[in-house]
């Protein structure tokens, strides 16, 4: 039986390879690209991490924790043996990345304060903690259409090491037959997507985020919807893509995800009620455990910077 997550992902990969148009790009590498693509992943059928090539779970879960903590220093990632931001890191002591995802998630609208200064006790003035707001709205107004977090802040794009590719996500609560909140789904809008290197991380990262928030609000993780603007394959990834596509009939079963929370869910909910998200500081990449993850070997490819 073909793993559905692999099948969904590979169908999109094949579509871009076969039907994409050749375009120049910011990096000077060149791509095949399609504008406008949507793919859906059923979270009730196991955790969507690809098995047709090895995906790096520590990197996926560590980066997610990094974002949720609002951190912007590449040193934290390196200290946790994660190197995926190395090409874009600054040259100060902490190799600061500027007001990237986590800063926008936790301090949207505030002037940027570097991680070094925040570690020294200088905190942003004002700004909106979008993660706190969406968690409170999921709890207090589950059927709202405003469960949205945005990483796209035009006023600070020039301060970022890399402007956000995954720009906005939205949660949706499905009712049960009695009209009570039952399931949680997440849709991500991504303006630009490197389908071979980047997309596998994005799928698993936002699936894990959906599992995490579902735990907090007592809902069942249902679906991750991935909507993309520019879906592309770099021209120097074509051979790697063909190798992965050749594995479509040799997939492995989807693993399951367990999250070891640092506090009880009751304690976490009390902290959320008190506008306190300090519990995120106690998560690590090891807090997320995949059971039964098997895959084909990794397929290396150059990163376009």
Buried b (16+ CB within 10 A) or exposed e, 142-163: beeeebbbbbbbeebeeebbeb
Q: Which residues are catalytic?
A: 165
Contact 40, 260 (CB under 8 A): no
Classify residue 184 by burial, with Cβ atoms within 10 Å: 0-12, 13-18, 19+. buried
Q: Which residues contact 18 (CB under 8 A, 6 or more apart)?
A: none
Neighbours of 305 (CB within 10 A): 10
Q: Which residues contact 75 (CB under 8 A, 6 or more apart)?
A: 93, 94, 95
Look up tokens 């040799």; give the residue: 250
Q: What is the Cα–Cα distance from 245 to 257, expressed in whole angstroms?
A: 25
Query: How far is C-alpha 86 from the chain's CA centre?
Result: 18
């Amino acid at each position: 039986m073909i793993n559905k997550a692999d099948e969904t992902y590979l169908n999109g990969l094949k579509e871009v390879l076969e039907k994409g148009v050749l375009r120049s790009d910011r990096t000077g590498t060149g791509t095949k690209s399609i504008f406008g693509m949507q793919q859906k992943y059923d979270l009730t059928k196991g955790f969507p991490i690809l098995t047709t090539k090895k995906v790096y779970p520590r990197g996926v879960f560590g980066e997610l924790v990094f974002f949720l903590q609002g951190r912007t220093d590449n040193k934290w990632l390196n200290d946790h043996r994660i190197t995926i931001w190395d090409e874009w890191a600054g040259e100060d002591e902490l190799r600061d990345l500027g007001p990237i995802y986590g800063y926008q998630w936790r301090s949207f609208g505030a002037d940027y304060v570097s991680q070094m200064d925040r570690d020294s006790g200088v905190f942003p003035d004002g700004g909106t903690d979008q993660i706190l707001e969406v968690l409170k709205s999921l709890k207090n107004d589950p059927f709202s259409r405003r469960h949205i977090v945005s990483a796209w802040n035009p006023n600070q794009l020039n301060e970022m090491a890399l402007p956000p590719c995954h720009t906005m996500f939205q949660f949706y609560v499905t009712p049960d037959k009695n009209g009570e909140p039952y399931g949680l789904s997440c849709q991500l809008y991504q303006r630009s997507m490197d389908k071979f290197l980047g997309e596998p991380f994005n799928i698993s990262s936002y699936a894990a985020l959906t599992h995490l928030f579902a735990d907090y609000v007592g809902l069942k993780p249902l679906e991750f919807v991935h909507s993309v603007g520019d879906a592309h394959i770099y021209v120097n990834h074509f051979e790697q893509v063909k190798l992965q596509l050749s594995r479509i009939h040799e997939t492995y079963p989807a693993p399951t995800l367990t999250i070891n929370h640092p506090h009880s869910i009751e304690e976490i909910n009390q902290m959320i009620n008190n506008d306190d998200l300090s519990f995120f500081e106690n998560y690590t990449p090891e807090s997320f455990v995949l059971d039964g993850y098997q895959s084909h070997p990794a397929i290396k490819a150059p990163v376009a910077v």
